[in-house]
Structure 1
Amino acid sequence: MSKVTCDFCGATDSPNNPVIAGDNACICKACVGAAHEIMNGGAPEDMEHLPATVQEEKVQEEIKLRTPAELKAILDDYVIGQERAKKVLSVAVYNHYKRIFRHDEIDDDTELNKSNVLLIGPTGSGKTLLAQTISKYLDVPLAIADATSLTEAGYVGDDVENVVTRLVQAADGDIEKAQRGIIFIDEVDKVARMSENRSITRDVSGEGVQQALLKIVEGSVVNVPPKGGRKHPGQDALQIDTTNILFVCGGAFDGLEDIIKKKQGANVLGFNQDKKSKKEEEKIISQVETDDLVKYGLIPELIGRLHMVATLNEITEDDMVHILTEPKNALIKQYIKLFEMDDVTLEFDKEALKELAKLAIERKTGARGLRSILEDIMLDIMYDLPKYKNKTITITKDVVKKEKEPKIA
């Protein structure tokens, strides 16, 4: 006699999960509980017992699919400038999750491939922040890896597969959630090979890393150790399918402009070299093509898997001032809140903000350099902060230059 099976999830009748048989349908205890949770607006505790279509609908609801314009609007709240890069990332993310959740809306044999992204821009221009912001508001796990720590399998350093392990950890061990996450690989330009010709010796931290990245970026089932580290016999491995994981690679690609200029016939060395303005320099980097990246040292196979390329501009002094004051988590807003906790009002005048921006530009560390400059200036003030209860502290240009004490009223 064959066992009764649930028409929703296919589970067979058992003491732990009994199946109720009706005239035309059967349903198990787990599916009844899950249906009750859904009808009452809650998420079922155990998604595994739900039919695949219901699971997908629940995950889609959690991720809250947004249009490219909505995604860009979110990025605008946190990232100043970089309009082109924000558009590229918004479209890539929208198409990626549309491909996962709406692939069955049109019934034909066309398969949609994912579009991974390459972000090229100077340090501190917002590459990592773009990926962090978009993953936070989609509520998908994000793993950030530094390509410089990766080596080819079998050598000292992190295996490339450990990047996927970090994503599983970011998803709190939920493999289904991890398989729909985003992996951001920073400093990808640091694993470029020394020349565009293939190395005849082992290049285990350069070309070898690029070769190892190919299969996981394209999409394959990889075995990863659950807690990271080296794979070894006897260790239980997790099987992760990277087909629906979006890869975003970023790098400064210092010197790429010279490669593009040479291709265009410009003189980059000697007495007659062409001096270009900052705007012209930015225009040059935006003209990057696949063969320029090959000359830089990326292998053609990897470039072919990073379909969308976006360039980020160097941050200007005006952008720095906006970064200090406008984003939702702007540094000035953070310091004002810190001072409010001690009942102290903090103010910055316009000239002080401009001087802070000027110092950050001089240090060539991009927007990330602003925090260290501010911490240095505010240290003595914050040390004595409890003394200034119910007072107003004004930071001027001279305070930033460390020529005067702040105004206290």
Structure 2
Amino acid sequence: MLWERVHSAICDQCTEKAAADLVSMRVETERREAPLETAALIARFDAEIVGQVPAKRTLVGAIRRHRTPGAGLSVARILIAGPRGSGKTTLGRIAASLGGWPSVVADVTGLVDAGEPGMSPEDVVGLLWRNARRDVEACEHGTVFLDGLDRSAIAARCWEGVQRGMLRLLNDGEVELPPRVLEWRVPATSPISTRDLLFVAAVSVPPLPAEAFANERALREALVREGLLPALVSRFHRVVYITPPDPAVAHHMLTRPGGILERAQRLAAAAGATLEVPYESTMALAQLVAADPDGGWAAERLVGRLVSEILADPAPNRRFVLDGYALNLAASV
């Protein structure tokens, strides 16, 4: 059926879609206006990341500052530094989900400076604008998580260009959305201000000695020595360091409810097998994870190898035990 009025028409399908969009926007507005208590925010981080209290407190403070209207303060910009597999990406994604406004997670590996082919800072803001349903006000209060700043994963000739692209994005100014971001038959929108955006970025660095992150000034100097541009480091209001997991943290990460080992046991059970994990084996596995330069990724990799062996076994209803032999097998592959 078509509803007609003054030389225009709209079908039932479009009417239902518009109504659904209005409901979605109302729910989103209620969500962003709902108060968030500090304890609830910390609990959300604790459910995913063990330890790392300074980083969590910094992010919780930034989120509450971002969600407090009329504070008269510029929104915080947080740089999370740490080794691979330490939880930087998880923290950043949680922060983006709790910002209370539309958010975007961008991999900066392909970010380029002006005039070069690749993803531009304007593209990142354009993705945020799309996630905000083309609402300029919502976009200008959104959260941007810049992930993937890893010197080992970016070509040497592109390393500085990626950082300069981030600098352009972090400048307090206005961004013109490129034509390729604008959808067909969508009129050009006004420039997007980046002043009130909450920026969280993650950079991978080798494990640093304790004196390198004894205070924030020492950490900033250490990051510059690791190849970050001083101008980029200075753009962030706070810089925090995430330590690699020690054996105790790795053990908790492995054995907590819903953790890696519990997921592996559920997967084995779904395949008709039984996976038993003695306490001594969890301690030995935690030692392997803590000693591996990939940190948390190592836990997923080691347990994943064991699960693959279980799933590949042709005999049904097998009983598997995570013993020393299995750990050595997983660590040696």
TM-score by length of 2: 0.76
Count of residues in Structure 1 that have an aligned counterpart in Structure 2: 308
Gaps of 5+ in 2: 8-18
Matched, 1:214 2:131: no
Contact 2:253 2:259 in 1 (8 A): yes
In structure 2, how many angstroms separate the alpha carbons of the residues matched to 1:329 and 1:347?
A: 16
Secondary structure, counterpart of 1:353 in structure 2: helix
| Alignment CA distance shift 1:286-1:67 (3 Å) | farther
Contact 1:63 1:140 in 2 (8 A): no
Deviations 1:59-91 (A, max 9, x none): 253464312332111111110111111111111
In structure 2, how many angstroms separate the alpha carbons of the residues matched to 1:163 and 1:353?
A: 42
Q: Which residue number corresponds to residue 363 of structure 1?
A: 292
Match of 2:31 among 48, 57, 61: 61
In structure 2, how many angstroms separate the alpha carbons of the residues matched to 1:381 and 1:295?
A: 45
Cα deviation, residue 347, structure 1: 2.5
Structure 1 stretch displaced more, 182-191 or 244-253 = 182-191
Q: Which residue number corresponds to residue 400 of structure 1?
A: 327
In structure 2, how many angstroms separate the alpha carbons of the residues matched to 1:333 and 1:374?
A: 11
Contact 1:286 1:311 in 2 (8 A): no
Whichever residue aligns with residue 396 of structure 1, its letter is D
Deviations 1:261-291 (A, max 9, x none): xxxxxxxxxxxxxxxxxxxx33532324145
Q: Which residue number corresponds to residue 19 of structure 1?
A: none
In structure 2, how many angstroms separate the alpha carbons of the residues matched to 1:46 and 1:357?
A: 44
Cα deviation, residue 123, structure 1: 1.1
Whichever residue aligns with residue 306 of structure 1, its letter is F
Match of 1:381 among 298, 302, 310: 310
| Alignment CA distance shift 1:386-1:184 (3 Å) | farther
| Alignment CA distance shift 1:61-1:363 (3 Å) | closer
Contact 2:80 2:203 in 1 (8 A): yes
Decide which structure has the larger Cα Rg and report it. Answer: 1
Deviations 1:99-146 (A, max 9, x none): xxx318xxxxxx321110011211111111011223335565443333
Contact 2:244 2:290 in 1 (8 A): no
Matched, 1:252 2:204: yes
In structure 2, how many angstroms separate the alpha carbons of the residues matched to 1:346 and 1:170?
A: 42
| Alignment CA distance shift 1:206-1:299 (3 Å) | same
In structure 1, how many angstroms separate the alpha carbons of the residues matched to 2:252 and 2:299?
A: 12
Counterpart mapping for 1:5-20 below 5 A: none
Contact 2:66 2:99 in 1 (8 A): no
In structure 1, how many angstroms separate the alpha carbons of the residues matched to 2:254 and 2:214?
A: 26
Q: Which residue number corresponds to residue 12 of structure 2?
A: none
In structure 1, how many angstroms separate the alpha carbons of the residues matched to 2:221 and 2:309?
A: 52
Identity of aligned residues (%): 25
Q: Which residue number corresponds to residue 276 of structure 1?
A: none
The Cα RMSD (Å) is: 3.8
| Alignment CA distance shift 1:168-1:360 (3 Å) | farther
Q: Which residue number corresponds to residue 287 of structure 1?
A: 215
TM-score by length of 1: 0.63
In structure 1, how many angstroms separate the alpha carbons of the residues matched to 2:43 and 2:205?
A: 28
Match of 1:185 among 134, 146, 151: 146
Contact 1:131 1:184 in 2 (8 A): yes
Counterpart mapping for 1:61-140 below 5 A: 61-62=31-32, 64-98=34-68, 102-103=69-70, 111-137=72-98, 140=101
Match of 2:107 among 128, 134, 146: 146
Contact 1:118 1:248 in 2 (8 A): yes
Cα deviation, residue 148, structure 1: 3.3
In structure 1, how many angstroms separate the alpha carbons of the residues matched to 2:101 and 2:259?
A: 23
| Alignment CA distance shift 1:58-1:124 (3 Å) | closer
Which structure has the higher relative contact order (CA within 8 Å, separation 6+)? 2
In structure 2, how many angstroms separate the alpha carbons of the residues matched to 1:247 and 1:341?
A: 41
| Alignment CA distance shift 1:176-1:226 (3 Å) | farther
Contact 2:114 2:120 in 1 (8 A): yes
Secondary structure, counterpart of 1:156 in structure 2: coil
